[in-house]
Chain A
């Protein structure tokens, strides 16, 4: 069962930051594949959600990019910078705490942090 994109909305930034923290550098298509692979297809990041968030992360100065040219097209590789590493730790903590609260609220036997 694939999770609803609505559930992902508030956590996509954190997912992408964590993904970049765990891998040296990734480009967009690779990120979608990694997420699919890790979650066993339960989470599928759409292109329409992914690229605006990557653009925002770059604009916020949390990631740096490296351009690779494949013929006429450009491939942007994303890497976490020092500010991004710090932000990732904060955001992961925040999401973990949110999941705990959600578990309490929904009476689920889950403990993340």
Chain B
């Protein structure tokens, strides 16, 4: 068994990127797997190139990108979505429409005149400004493509979602 040098590991890693393996965690796994198999096969540094060139094609049928595509395909499967599209857009609609509906109900119960139905700028202006945060947060949290790698963990999404709030406060 011959332990691969850092340069050889780098060379394989760069080659995997060049061949289209962009998802970092999958690439790291494949890199480790390739290294283990090469280390088992060779006894000397001179044998590395030949061993690597003959080993890599055994990982795919036509192209290494198959692994990348398969990864994306599995991530896009509906099973792991937090909200369905309908739930997401219903939530967005409720967040936007909610304050207006409440205002109208309040206005109607207080002074039922014709002008009641015209929502004053003093109401819809701040509502839109403050809705910017929850809306942006929701968009950031739920619309971050899951194929981004390393997968953006939930706490990071929430942290990212807070960023638009800071922007609103600063404004």
Contacts of A58 in B (CB 8 A): 25, 151
Question: B31 near A73 (CB under 8 angstroms)?
Answer: yes
Contact between chains at B23 and A55 (CB < 8 Å): yes
| Per-residue B-contact encoding for A64-82, CB less than 8 Å = 1, 0 else | 0000001111111000000
Within 8 A of A (CB), among B1-33: 3-4, 6, 9-10, 13, 23, 25-26, 28-33
A-B contact count (CB 8 A): 78
B26-66 residues at the A interface, CB under 8 angstroms: 26, 28-33, 35-37, 59-61, 66
Contact-residue size bin, chain B (C-beta under 8 Å from the other chain): 20 to 34
B9 contacts A59, CB within 8 Å? no
Chain B facing A: main interface SS: helix
Report the stretch among B71-79, B90-98, B118-126, B157-165 that lies at the interface: B71-79
Tell me whether chain A's interface is mostly helix, strand or loop, or mixed. helix
A2 interface residue, CB < 8 Å from B? no
Contact of A59 among B3, B4, B151 (CB under 8 A): B151
Nearest neighbor of B40 in chain A, beta-carbon distance: A29
- Cβ-defined contact, A48 with B67, below 8 A: yes
Check B25 against A55 for contact (C-beta < 8 Å). yes
Q: Does B80 lie at the interface of the complex (its beta carbon under 8 Å from any beta carbon of A)?
A: yes
- Interfacial residues, chain A to chain B (CB-CB below 8 A): 27-29, 46-49, 51-56, 58-61, 70-76
Using a CB–CB cutoff of 8 Å, the interface residues on chain B facing chain A are 3-4, 6, 9-10, 13, 23, 25-26, 28-33, 35-37, 59-61, 66-67, 70-71, 73-75, 77, 79-80, 146, 151
Pairs A–B under 8 Å by Cβ, sample size 20: A27-B29, A27-B32, A29-B37, A48-B66, A48-B70, A51-B29, A51-B33, A51-B67, A52-B26, A52-B74, A55-B74, A56-B71, A56-B80, A59-B80, A70-B32, A71-B4, A73-B9, A73-B13, A73-B28, A74-B31
